[in-house]
Every structure is written in C-alpha cells, then in structure tokens.
C-alpha cells in the first residue's frame, strides 16, 4: 500500500515561518546584548585606568591607526589626577558596531593645584574579529 503525501496546510507554514523569524530575531538581540555588555565592561576598565592615572594602560585601548599617530605620550599626563569620572551618555549606532560615549572628568593638575572639568567625547568601535571594542579617539585632553 502506497503512502499518500498530503501537502502541509498554509496555516502551518505561516506558523513555522513566524517561529523561525522570532528565533532569528532572538539570536540577534542576544548578540546585541553581548556587544553592549562587552562595551560596558571595556569602558569600565578604561575608566579605572584613567581614574588611577594609568595612562599607559588607558592608551592600550586605542587602536593604533594613522589618524591616531599624534596621540599624547602617556608619561606626559602623570601630573593630572582624576577626582571624578562620570559617564553622561552612551549611544550605540543601529548595528551596534560604534558607540559615542560622553564623559565628564574632574581633575587637578599637580603643578597648578587647581580642579578643572572637561567633557571627553569618546568614539568606541567594535571589531568582530577578535570580538573587542577599541577606542577610536585620543586620551582625554587635559590642559
């Protein structure tokens, strides 16, 4: 006796298609969350380096490119002591590959003994291979 092949009803096909779409969008949002969490961890590590005056460690977050060749020498920043570092905003682009982070930094220059405030506008970029965020702007412009 031969088996009869019945076509799958259209409603079942639509349900399967909707479930597949939901699954795929769920995977995308998990990936977005992982990138955002990684950005948060990376910017916190950078913050710690700046707050503790580890400008050599902080400069390691900068991807060395031709445009960043004129970055300040970390040793020339040792006279600056950060007293406060507050993230004002973090805005990710649509595909979560670039972030604009605005930070307010209060610091004093040991040579002048005067507290000053600067707004540091940072651009962070995600590099899929090896899966890291790097800073695409210079160290804070202390003066």
Residue spans per domain, the chain: 10-135
Residues facing residue 72 across a β-bridge = none
Looking at residue 129, its pLDDT comes to: 86
Concatenated DSSP letters for 13-56?
A: HHHHHHHHHHHHHHHHHHHHHHHHHHHHHHHHHHHHHHHTT-HH
Say whether domain 10-135 belongs to CATH 3.30.300.
no
- Mean pLDDT per 10-residue segment, the chain (143 residues): 63 59 55 90 97 93 66 77 96 94 96 93 93 94 89
In this prediction, residue 104 carries a pLDDT of 98
pLDDT of residue 16: 61
Beta carbons within 8 Å of 137's beta carbon, 6+ residues apart: 62, 121, 122, 123
pLDDT at 117: 96
> Residue 83 CB: number of other CB atoms within 10 A?
12
| pLDDT for residue 27 | 47
Closest CA to 43 of 107, 130, 103: 103
Tell me which residue has tokens 């096909």.
Answer: 13
Q: H-helix or E-strand containing 138?
A: none
Q: What pLDDT does residue 137 have?
A: 94
């Amino acid at each position: 006796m031969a088996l009869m092949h019945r076509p799958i009803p259209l409603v079942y096909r639509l349900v399967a298609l909707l479930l597949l779409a939901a699954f795929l969008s769920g995977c995308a949002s998990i990936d977005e969350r992982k990138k955002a969490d990684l950005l948060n961890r990376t910017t916190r590590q950078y913050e710690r380096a700046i707050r503790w005056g580890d400008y050599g460690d902080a400069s390691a977050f900068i991807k060395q490119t031709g445009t960043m060749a004129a970055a300040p020498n970390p040793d020339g920043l040792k006279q600056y002591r950060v007293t406060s570092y507050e993230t004002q905003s973090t805005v990710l682009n649509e595909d979560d590959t670039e972030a604009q982070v605005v930070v307010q930094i209060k610091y004093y220059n040991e040579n002048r003994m005067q507290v000053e405030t600067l707004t540091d506008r940072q651009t962070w970029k995600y590099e899929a291979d090896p899966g890291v965020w790097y800073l695409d702007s210079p160290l804070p412009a202390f003066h």
